[in-house]
Amino acid sequence: MYSLAFVVGTRPEITKIAPVILEAENRNLSFTIIHTGQHYDKEMSDQFFDVLELRKPDFNLGVQAKQTNQQLGDMIKKLGELFLELSPNIVLAVGDTVSVLAACLASVNNQIPFGHIESGLRSYDNTMPEEINRRIVDSVSSILFAPSQRAVVNLLYEGIDAERIHFVGNTIVDSIQIFGDKIKQEIPSQASELLKKTQRDFIICTIHRVSNVENETNLKEIVETLEEIKDTSIIFLLHPRTANKLEEFKLMSQFKSIENMLLSSPIDYFSILSLMRNERCKLILTDSGGLQEEAAFLKIPCITLRPNTERPETVEQEINKLVRIKKDEIINTIKQTLGDVNIKRKFDEFIFPYGDGNSRKKILDIIENNLDNLSFISPEMYSSGSKSFFLIEIKTKISSSIVENKFNCTITLVYDERGQPIPIPDELQKGYWIRVSVK
């Protein structure tokens, strides 16, 4: 029997990896849960594990908020020592935080396979620490579990071996389906308390990105925007980093005086789901990544306070809008979204790109079927010193495997007749171009 090590550092990571842990438990697999301590708060973190019916972490490394460089170094050291002691067959982590980067580097440095869940998401914005983290992690992971077909293409475009990439969907869909049933009978207490305090329609708001909360101008613009929202209530889930910056920039008094805002510390996942599934929830206003997916699945319009997103499918299908941190632009976008008479049609036509809710099973099936291929082995001898890449035009319909066998090559990317990169298909069509590597 093989063993797994799950690494988490923040509450969203716990939520996203919970279905895989529960599936591992259901299969009677041997596994260890490790909390880095990145965003550890005993009351909130323990509550998340209790609510999600997960056993408590086997190890808490206690590496809490410090300078990022020091935090990363401490995590790599402690995780590396622990991995050598535990000797898992594979380490798994989800997302794009410092904890994920540390888990990946500690694994590969010790030649322990690392599996990245939620790989291939790209905003192509290197001012975002999360973007840097996920690109580094994806480049050296042993096996990559992509949440969407676009994520697969992103990875192929970056030259990552196709055999390491697996489209499984996003585990957040599993979480919504597994845990969503638990709130149908009874509204969780934290959600219930907030719903009692307003009888109006409401917007759920979360703001925590460095670019928003550590920029005084942006944070002030957001506070002034919230003051202008009059027609609905606002349920604001206040991240500790956001609270600290509101205090530092002397905006907290102004923020707390917003009349129609219900202020709450972070709440448990069941309560978040309950609020989002409530018929009075009309909009998500956020800079979060995961909430964009959850809103899409639950058919709630979303406004993302960022210039870009690693979930572009939601923007392309017009159920998520990006907006700059300018008060007038945000207010106008809120009014347009709440007044959009076509929003139901847009959701009816929305093609959900993040899987069918069986990601947890696919991930563990793939690991079981690929254990022998995950071990670290020396590279082959390349006749030209390294892989060489060529573009080939497809003149007639032909199987991908026939092309690879005939030319002794590996197809690394396919462009369709419009020049768009697509996942590698079994059958290549006339007019396609393929990028191949030759050993």
Q: List the structure tokens of 182.
A: 């638990």
Residue located via tokens 């291929």:
373
Q: Are 114 and 150 in contact (CB under 8 A)?
A: no
- What string of DSSP letters covers 71-133? HHHHHHHHHHHHHHHH--SEEEEESSSHHHHHHHHHHHHTT--EEEETTT-----TTSHHHHH
Q: What angle separates helix 327-338 from helix 216-228, to the nearest 10 degrees?
A: 40
Q: Are 8 and 80 in contact (CB under 8 A)?
A: no
C-alpha to C-alpha distance for 425 and 162, rounded to whole angstroms: 11
Q: Residue 86 carries which side chain, given as an amino acid letter?
A: L
What is each CA distance from 401 to 356, 392, 408, in whole angstroms? 28, 15, 10
Q: Does residue 208 have an active-site annotation?
A: yes
Residue located via tokens 């995950």:
374
Rg (CA), the chain: 23
Other Cβ atoms less than 10 A from the Cβ of 415: the count is: 17
Which is catalytic among the residues 35, 39, 166, 208? Answer: 208
- What string of DSSP letters covers 175-227? HHHHHHGGGSSS--HHHHHHHHT--S-EEEEE---HHHHS-HHHHHHHHHHHH
| Residues assigned a catalytic role | 208
